[in-house]
């Protein structure tokens, strides 16, 4: 099958009016950006879907790349033909063969779906469907007709520009295009959870700015490298991710010196949120995302969350709040962050782990524990010393 174009479908039918057109523009832009390694590829918006002109590039790697773009529901490689029965038949046969090859069922059922927008083409849709269906039945033995519940459908569109024929459909990730929901700050540790949380937030259309708290020399350069590698993987999915590295050593040292051991994690988290909130104002981030999952550790009980949250008015998104660890780990493997996350370098939270952290810290207790800290100055200094680094999607090297 001589594929020269992809049809890209998207969902979220609830989107209307302005929103819909913004959504389409952003999605088309993101698809074009994801395909920049493929010379000459052109992305076009037409009537409720996106069309990718391959310009001689092979369909398979381009399809794979498009399926990874958030917001894409499915992709079909399409053959364009001239408007003659012979050409349409050849294309329909080729498309059906290809679909049978990639189908899991050995014997399978099909139908031909014809749409004739170009009424100058002399054969009406039902007759053309019967004619093409008959030819497919003759040529491909394993196929039977089922017009109600076919395993595969050969689509034939007869348009002014020519015939469009396709039968294969590859599933995309769904979601919303990155950039359609605004920018948020992801609290990115080197662990398994927060990169997955960031990925899920991106899938709902947010652009990520990662914020990492680094406590050099308590935590090593390699621990930071790990976080940079995670930011790179997230950028490969979402186009780009800016990483803010907060120097957190001073804050941690002060907490250790002045705060009761069993409340140190609570206070540390509150300091993280205060600093993140300040960065959010500076960089115009609308919310913060964390990898917290209910009950996973002492600082992730509802009581803890309440006390930690009390320092900020920003919405805190917790995409993993109801997820089990095994499911989070599976997702981490799928998106390519797991192997980086399990590297053994220490995190700033693991170095000062108290013997028995409070699981139900109260707000007034946390406030009392903070009285001997110069909170405002610590926050200000940490924000002033924060460094930024941009990660952009890497062009695939395997083409
Ligand atoms: P993760 O696997 O994401 O590290 P975790 O199960 O280890 O999560 P915690 O260590 O309690 O859980 O951290 C909870 C959340 O706090 C993390 O998911 C992350 O969003 C944020 N966080 C923790 N440590 C850091 C850090 N050093 N820098 C930025 N954010 C952090
Ligand atoms: Mg962690």
The SS3 call for residue 249 is: helix
Regarding whether 369 and 239 lie in a shared domain, the answer is yes
Regarding whether 323 and 205 lie in a shared domain, the answer is yes
Torsion of CA 9, 11, 14, 19, to 10 degrees: -60
Q: Which atom of ligand 1 is nearest to the CA of 299?
A: 11
Regarding whether 73 and 209 lie in a shared domain, the answer is no
55-64, 156-165, 193-202, 298-307: least confident range: 298-307
The pLDDT, as a whole number, for residue 187 is 98
Q: Is residue 177 part of a domain?
A: no
CA nearest ligand 1 atom 14, residue? 292
d(CA 331, CA 369): 38
Regarding whether 24 and 115 lie in a shared domain, the answer is yes
Q: Is residue 94 part of a domain?
A: yes
Q: What distance in angstroms lies between residue 197's CA and the mean position of ligand 2's atoms? A: 12
CA nearest ligand 1 atom 8, residue? 193
The pLDDT, as a whole number, for residue 3 is 85
Q: Is residue 110 part of a domain?
A: yes
The pLDDT, as a whole number, for residue 340 is 97
Regarding whether 248 and 164 lie in a shared domain, the answer is no
Per-residue DSSP letter, 161:
T
Cβ of 210 less than 6 Å from ligand 1: no
Pair 393, 236: CB distance under 8 Å: yes
The pLDDT, as a whole number, for residue 11 is 81
**Where residue 86 sits, what CATH number does that domain have?**
3.30.2130.30
Cross-strand bridge partners of residue 58: none
- pLDDT tens per residue across span 243-256: 999 999 999 999 99
**Rounded mean pLDDT, 26-43:** 95
Q: What distance in angstroms lies between residue 158's CA and the mean position of ligand 1's atoms? A: 54
pLDDT band, residue 296 (cuts 50/70/90): confident
Q: What is the pTM of this model?
A: 0.90
Regarding whether 381 and 250 lie in a shared domain, the answer is yes
Q: Is residue 279 part of a domain?
A: yes
C-beta neighbour count of 11 within 10 angstroms: 14
pLDDT band, residue 22 (cuts 50/70/90): confident
Q: Which atom of ligand 1 is nearest to the CA of 348?
A: 27
214: nearest Cα among 334, 385, 10, 70: 385
Regarding whether 342 and 294 lie in a shared domain, the answer is yes
Average pLDDT, the chain: 92
**Rounded mean pLDDT, 254-279:** 96
The pLDDT, as a whole number, for residue 398 is 45
73-87, 129-143, 352-366: least confident range: 352-366
Cβ of 382 less than 6 Å from ligand 1: no
Pair 186, 201: CB distance under 8 Å: yes
Q: Is residue 398 part of a domain?
A: no
CA nearest ligand 1 atom 4, residue? 191
Regarding whether 222 and 283 lie in a shared domain, the answer is yes
Cβ of 198 less than 6 Å from ligand 1: no
CA nearest ligand 1 atom 12, residue? 292
CA nearest ligand 1 atom 10, residue? 349
Regarding whether 378 and 265 lie in a shared domain, the answer is yes
The pLDDT, as a whole number, for residue 101 is 86
Based on DSSP, count helices (H) and strands (E) in the chain, helices before strands: 14, 15
Cβ of 296 less than 6 Å from ligand 1: yes
Cβ of 188 less than 6 Å from ligand 1: yes
Regarding whether 198 and 229 lie in a shared domain, the answer is yes
Of 171, 204, 238, the one marking the end of a domain is: 171
**Rounded mean pLDDT, 271-299:** 93
80: nearest Cα among 60, 51, 102, 40: 51
Of 150, 171, 192, the one marking the end of a domain is: 171
Q: Is residue 397 part of a domain?
A: no
Q: Is residue 399 part of a domain?
A: no
Of 113, 137, 171, the one marking the end of a domain is: 171
Structural domain count, the chain: 2
Q: What distance in angstroms lies between residue 149's CA and the mean position of ligand 2's atoms? A: 48
- pLDDT tens per residue across span 225-238: 999 999 999 999 99
155-164, 276-285, 383-392: least confident range: 155-164
Regarding whether 244 and 383 lie in a shared domain, the answer is yes
pLDDT at 399 over 90: no
> 337 is in which domain, residue-wise?
183-392
Cβ of 323 less than 6 Å from ligand 1: no
Regarding whether 270 and 157 lie in a shared domain, the answer is no
Q: Which tokens hold the place of 119?
A: 């009424």
Q: Which residue has the higher pLDDT, 119 or 358?
A: 119
Q: What distance in angstroms lies between residue 320's CA and the mean position of ligand 2's atoms? A: 13
**Where residue 301 sits, what CATH number does that domain have?**
3.40.50.620
Cβ of 193 less than 6 Å from ligand 1: yes
Q: What distance in angstroms lies between residue 399's CA and the mean position of ligand 2's atoms? A: 36
Q: Residues with beta carbon < 5 A to ion ligand 2?
A: 189, 191
């Amino acid at each position: 099958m001589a594929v020269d174009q992809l049809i890209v479908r998207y969902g979220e039918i609830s989107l209307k009016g302005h929103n819909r057109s913004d959504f389409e523009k952003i999605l088309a832009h993101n698809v074009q950006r994801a395909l920049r390694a493929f010379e000459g590829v052109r992305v076009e918006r037409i009537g409720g879907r996106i069309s990718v002109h391959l310009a001689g590039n092979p369909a398979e790697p381009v399809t794979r790349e498009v399926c990874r773009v958030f917001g894409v529901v499915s992709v079909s490689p399409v053959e364009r033909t001239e408007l003659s029965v012979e050409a349409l038949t050849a294309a329909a046969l080729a498309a059906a063969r290809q679909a049978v090859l990639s189908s899991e069922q050995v014997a399978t059922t099909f139908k031909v779906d014809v749409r004739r927008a170009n009424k100058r083409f002399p054969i009406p849709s039902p007759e053309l469907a019967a004619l093409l269906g008959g030819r497919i039945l003759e040529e491909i033995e394993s196929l039977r007709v089922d017009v109600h519940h076919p395993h595969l459908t050969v689509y034939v569109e007869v348009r002014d520009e020519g015939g469009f024929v396709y039968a294969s459909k590859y599933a995309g990730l769904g979601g919303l295009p990155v950039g359609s929901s605004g920018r948020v700050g992801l609290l990115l540790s080197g662990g398994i959870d927060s990169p997955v949380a960031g990925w899920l937030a991106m899938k709902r259309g947010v652009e990520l700015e990662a914020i990492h708290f680094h406590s050099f020399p308590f935590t090593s350069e390699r621990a930071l490298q790990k976080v940079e590698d995670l930011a790179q993987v997230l950028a490969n999915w979402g186009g780009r991710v800016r990483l803010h590295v907060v120097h957190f050593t001073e804050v941690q040292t002060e907490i250790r010196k002045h705060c009761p051991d069993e409340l140190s994690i609570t206070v540390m988290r509150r300091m993280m949120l205060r600093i993140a909130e300040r960065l959010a104002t500076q960089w115009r981030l609308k919310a913060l995302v964390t990898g917290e999952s209910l009950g996973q550790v002492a600082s992730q009980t509802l009581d803890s969350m309440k006390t930690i949250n009390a320092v900020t008015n920003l919405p805190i998104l917790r995409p993993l709040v109801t997820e089990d660890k095994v499911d989070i780990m599976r997702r981490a493997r799928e998106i390519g962050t797991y192997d980086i996350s399990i590297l053994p370098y220490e995190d700033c939270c693991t170095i000062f782990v108290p013997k028995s952290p409070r699981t139900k810290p109260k707000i007034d207790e946390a406030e009392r524990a903070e009285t001997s800290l110069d909170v405002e100055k610590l926050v200000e200094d940490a924000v002033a010393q924060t460094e930024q680094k941009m990660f952009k999607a890497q062009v695939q090297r395997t083409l």
